[in-house]
Amino acid sequence: MLLSGSGKGQPGAVPGWVGYALLPVLNLLAAFVLSGLVILVIGENPVDVLSLLLSEALGYPEAIGYTLYYTTDYIFTGLAVAIAFHCGLFNIGGEGQAYLGGLGAGLVALALTGWPWPVVALLAVLASALFGAAWAFIPAWLQAKRGSHIVITTIMFNFIAASIMTWLLVDVLIRPGSQSPETREFDPGVWLPSMDRALGWFGITIPASPLNLSFLWALACCLLFHVFLRRTRWGYELRTVGRNERAAVYAGISPARNIVVAMLISGALAGFVGVNEILGVQHRVILNFTGGVGFVGIAVALMGRNHPVGIILAALLFGVLAQGGGQLSFEYPTINRELVMVIQGLVILFAGAMENLFKPQVEALFRRRGTVAASNAGRG
Amino acid sequence: MEDALLLALQLLSATIRVATPLVLAAFAGLYCERAGVVDIGLEGKMLAGAFFSAAVASATLNPWLGLLAGIAAGVALALVHGFACITHNGNQVVSGMAINILVAGLAPTLAYAWFQQGGQTPLLPAQARIPAVELPGVEALAGIPVLGPIYRELFDGNNVLIWVTLVLVVATQWVLYRSRFGLRLRAVGENPAAVDTAGLSVAKLRYQALLVTGVLTGMAGSYLSTGHGAGFVRDMTAGKGYLALAALIFGKWRPGPTLFACLLFAFTDAVQVRLQGVVLPGIGVIPVQFIQMLPYVLTVLLLAGFVGKAVAPKASGIPYVKER
């Protein structure tokens, strides 16, 4: 039965790229066909809408900047979900952890007016990691020690985070005399430089966009993620717990400790969304700046097969959807931003939950072809 | 004394109204989880039920057609969930999550395109809403001291769906523990291999359970938008599907305790509405956000403290693959 991924050219074998390239592409196509149907129901031409979506996301340099800015968020939350997955946990709380991470980054930026930006950036990265990890710690501890269902507790912590942040922004951190619930703007000296400014120092000019240096930090996190998981003892322990908790216990590995460690790292990674959004783009703490990044992270991790390279590619895909989809509403009066969520939902459904949809047919096709080729070779 | 009784009765009456969609959703989850299918997509199915019943009720001015549309939407999504998780052995949590995100986008997208009112349906007139049941004899009993107010506040003027829910709760208790279907349902959630060996189709039983789930979530949504409320608004389920799931875990997947958990959450919510803006002695006014998060905090505390290790149906969340 399990022939996928085994050696090349063997009779009846299915090449490995079918599993990690062809099937995801087929699933993606199915999701887009259904999205097209939804667009048809709304009364627009799906081909026009989807091609506009692509060109608004990748068609010109400024759009690419925006797309990569969204990609940054999704890399962080994708990695966050993935590390928890590797330990056998489902972290649906990325949303709340990212929200709190933004608070951490924002408090640092508010407190350190006048400091040089690299120091502020470093401390903000630390603070957002700390706040995000702290928010993940309680569900993690409850799961490890009390067996409380982490899916439910992390969802509840999203709601609690939303309430606390609303209270903080409405009653505590609000700029005096202001009506809208947000903090004062940070001192421009502490802003995380945007990519166009940073490249400007080296004499390279690109159009202005929200893309900022946290994109590089996201890429660095991918590398660190890989090293931690595959090259350290801690990563090995974490994966062992995820694969087989009982085997881990017999090997002297504590599941409880690793559950907490995985969730702390997960929360910290989700918290970095705050650096990108608050320190890099908004330059103040605002309401609901996360806008669903935690949930998209689940899709990113799934599509990326919990591997950093896959996560970067999947994050790029969702970045394209976010940027291109957001622009659609300007062109089409009947379409609003929520259409992006429809496409996201369908992509998650097909690429995540129905990943085996086409597998039997495709593998049968390849196996038949392989057998035919082998028998031909035998004859020739 | 009279005032205290009235306040208590109003609080209880509000509890019942808030609890109804929670109970429907939690019992929806009860059926499929006892059959071994985890459904985190209760939220999305409820939202779809709410949108489609409000949309149809608003177009036809007939609440019953609306209810049917809501149920159809719930069933359709339940079948999608089944197709992904039962037929294709997909990850059940992911499928549920996908349905939640899909519906959270789809409902306002369609509402925006069909009604042009910024992602909601028009306000429903009275004849397009599911009516309340007026009981006879309210006037006659009004004179009796305790009984009169109880009858008036708790029993009279409840929505049809509240009574339907009551019947469903009793029926579920019977179906699950006294009927052949219930026995098979519980068996397929604990030990699908044994059910398979007995010559019953695991997939068919799980699909049947999901059909019930779809019907109940559709009704829950319908109650929200055409019974309790008067139209669909964005995100109108507001986490009720997740709370229902928490109630189900807190109730250890049994009808009675699950009902109790739903009532407890609903009571917190009813108290929460009453507490807003009230000056408490020694503390002052508690910020409204802290009061609003009471049900969620309570959920976490209950899961952490009282439940202990909640033992789910053994095969829940695991796709059943026939041995070859």
pLDDT at A354 (0 to 100): 82
Residue B97 lies in a domain: yes
Average pLDDT score over residue span A340-353: 85
Q: In this structure, what token pair is assigned to residue A277? A: 């959004």
b/e string for B278-287 if b means 16 or more Cβ within 10 A?
eeeeeeeeeb
Measured CA to CA, the distance from residue A217 to residue A225 in angstroms comes to 12
What is the C-alpha end-to-end distance of chain B, expressed in Å?
Answer: 71
Per DSSP, A18 falls in state I
Measured CA to CA, the distance from residue A100 to residue A94 in angstroms comes to 10
Measured in angstroms, the CA of A346 and the nearest CA of chain B are apart by: 6
Q: In this structure, what token pair is assigned to residue A180? A: 């809208």
Least confident of A210-214, A248-252, A302-306, A316-320: A302-306
Measured CA to CA, the distance from residue B163 to residue A242 in angstroms comes to 46
* pLDDT bracket for residue A197 (50, 70, 90): confident
Identify which of B98, B108, B308 has the shortest CB distance to residue A348. Answer: B98
Residue B324 lies in a domain: no
ipTM score of the complex?
Answer: 0.85
pLDDT at A6 (0 to 100): 42
Higher pLDDT, B46 or A172: B46
| Contact by Cβ (8 Å): A153, A142 | yes
Mean pLDDT of chain A, nearest integer:
87
Q: In this structure, what token pair is assigned to residue A179? A: 């009506």
Identify which of B80, B94, B109 has the shortest CB distance to residue A42. Answer: B109
Closest CA to B43 of B294, B267, B248: B248
- Non-local (6+) Cβ contacts of B131 within 8 A are B63, B159, B160
State the count of interchain CB pairs (< 8 A) between A and B: 160
Please indicate whether, in this complex, the C-beta atoms of A152 and B303 are within 8 angstroms of each other.
yes
Containing domain of residue B155, as a range? 2-237
- The string of DSSP letters for A218-257 reads HHHHHHHHHHHHHHSHHHHHHHHHHH-HHHHHHTT--HHH
Residue B275 lies in a domain: no
Residue of A nearest to B114 (CA): A42
Q: What are phi and psi of B125, to 5 degrees?
A: -70, 165
Q: Which residue has the tokens 């956000």?
A: B289
Residue numbers of chain B with a pLDDT score lower than 50: none
pLDDT tens across B265-311, in order? Answer: 888 888 877 777 677 776 677 788 888 888 888 888 888 876 656 67
Does A362 contact B at CB distance below 8 Å? no
Residue B116 lies in a domain: yes
**Coil/strand/helix, residue B285:** strand
pLDDT at A83 (0 to 100): 96
User: How many domains would you assign to chain B?
Assistant: 1
Q: Which residue has the tokens 């005096």?
A: A176
**Coil/strand/helix, residue B280:** strand
* pLDDT bracket for residue A374 (50, 70, 90): low
Does A42 contact B at CB distance below 8 Å? yes
Measured CA to CA, the distance from residue A102 to residue A83 in angstroms comes to 20
Q: In this structure, what token pair is assigned to residue A106? A: 């924002």
Residue B280 lies in a domain: no
Is A233's pLDDT higher than 90?
yes
pLDDT at A87 (0 to 100): 93
Please indicate whether, in this complex, the C-beta atoms of B299 and A156 are within 8 angstroms of each other.
yes
Q: What is the pTM of this model?
A: 0.85
